Amino acid sequence: MSLITLTTDFGSVYPAAMKGVILGIDPRATIVDISHTVPHADIRAGAFALYSVVPYFPVGTVHVAVVDPGVGTARNSIVISAGGHLFVGPDNGLMVPAASRMGKMEIHKITNLGLLGDVSATFHGRDVFAR
């Protein structure tokens, strides 16, 4: 069973689409909402929310974090592995404080978006990071 956290600036409706994608892949997944009320495009606030709670989750947790003023631009999508946790989201500094708190980081760029099917230019939270 997967344990997945979500941290976004999406408000109350759009996280449901991400959860639907996750549960379509693994119906037994446990999804924990850290926050969906991060102020719009406020990477620092999102980073603080994630940093504040990550140590309380067990090894093996996947943290999906999307506060992304650069969506639709050439910014990279990444996965960070640190201390037995995975952090999935945009390469904009959002996940680095939390990941570094967990230990030595290994950062990997998500390169083969073709495996994901249709990817919207504006909803990478659903189409890239939730998958």
Q: Convert the pLDDT of each residue in 60-110 to its tens digit.
A: 999 999 999 988 888 899 999 999 999 999 999 999 999 999 999 999 999
CATH class of the domain whose range is 3-129? alpha beta
Q: What is the dihedral of CA 86, 18, 46, 44, to 10 degrees?
A: 90
Q: What is the pLDDT of residue 119?
A: 83
Query: Does the pTM exceed 0.75?
Result: yes
Classify residue 59 as exposed, middle or buried by CB count within 10 Å of its CB (0-12, 13-18, 19+): exposed
Count the residues in the chain.
Answer: 131
- The dihedral built from the CA positions of residue 40, 43, 46 and 13, taken in this order, carries a sign that is positive
Place of tokens 């924990």: 32
- Domain positions in the chain are 3-129
